[in-house]
Amino acid sequence: MKVKLLTTISFFTYQLSVSQTEKLLSGKVLSQNIPLNKVEVINKTAKTSTTTNELGEFSILVRSKDSLLFFSKDYFFKRLKVSQENIDQNNIVVSMILKPEELDEVVITNIKFPKVGSADENSTIVPMGLISTGVYNGTIPNGMDLVAIFNLFRGKRKKEQFKFKELDFKKLAEATVPLDFFTNNLKIKPEEKELFLQFCDADPQAKVLVQQKNLLYTMDFLHTKNKEFQKLNSVIKN
């Protein structure tokens, strides 16, 4: 009886130790069936990372329930929670979505040209110099003021410039962070998203993130602010 009991205990202990051992997980990262090279594959739980090769392939040590991050500056961030099925299959395929092209700040300059009146079809252009001095001085009555136009391009006339509003943290988060991240990862309700982003934008660190435009830093910042936001919500409800 004791032997059977010890055997059973040993078996379960072995199974537990095996389940806790890191295993090599292999996979491939694609975008529209095209392999992606140099994508960062980060095991956030184990604090390890690797990159994909030219075929989009990667291998990384994982345990069940580890959190994997897939990051490339030209693509939307991807998160995967490793399951035992992923480990057993050992051939996962991750699809990433290309970001829309980001435009630099645009400056629109409004330049006003002097109006030139239309000549009457019956009118005759007479060089004024011939009338007064008998020598043509090159001027044209009612013609364009070339000196004025020259001064305009030399900057002597006032220019009206309009600049688009600078990017704020709310726009940065909406443009780079996947939509399901707020609902699935942060558990933010759709009706609370606007208020949550305003709460984040009030933090001075948000302005730094707008300048850096680093998706991983932005995601970590949102995780941290979400904890504060949830605590604040619970205090208000109570």
What is the model's pLDDT at position 21? 84
What is the model's pLDDT at position 179? 81
Q: How many CA atoms lie within 13 A of 135 on its CB side?
A: 2
| Radius of gyration of the chain from its Cα atoms, rounded to whole angstroms | 33
What is the model's pLDDT at position 213? 82
List phi, psi (to 5°) of 177.
-90, 130
Cα four-point dihedral sign 197, 202, 206, 210: positive
d(CA 146, CA 152): 10
Average pLDDT in the chain: 75
What is the model's pLDDT at position 217? 87
Three-state DSSP state, 213: coil
Mean pLDDT (whole number) for 8-25: 60
**pLDDT tens for residues 108-164?**
455 555 555 555 555 554 444 444 445 545 555 555 555 555 555 555 444 444 344
What is the model's pLDDT at position 87? 92
Pairing mode of beta strands 23-31, 57-62: antiparallel
What is the model's pLDDT at position 99? 85
pTM over 0.75: no
What is the model's pLDDT at position 145? 57
d(CA 112, CA 114): 7
**pLDDT tens for residues 49-63?**
999 999 999 999 999
d(CA 203, CA 126): 71
Query: What are the residue boundaries of the structural domains of the chain, listed by start?
Result: 2-95, 107-163, 169-237
Q: Which CATH superfamily is domain 2-95 in?
A: Immunoglobulins (2.60.40.10)
* Residue 90: pLDDT over 50: yes
**pLDDT tens for residues 168-196?**
888 888 888 888 888 888 888 888 888 98
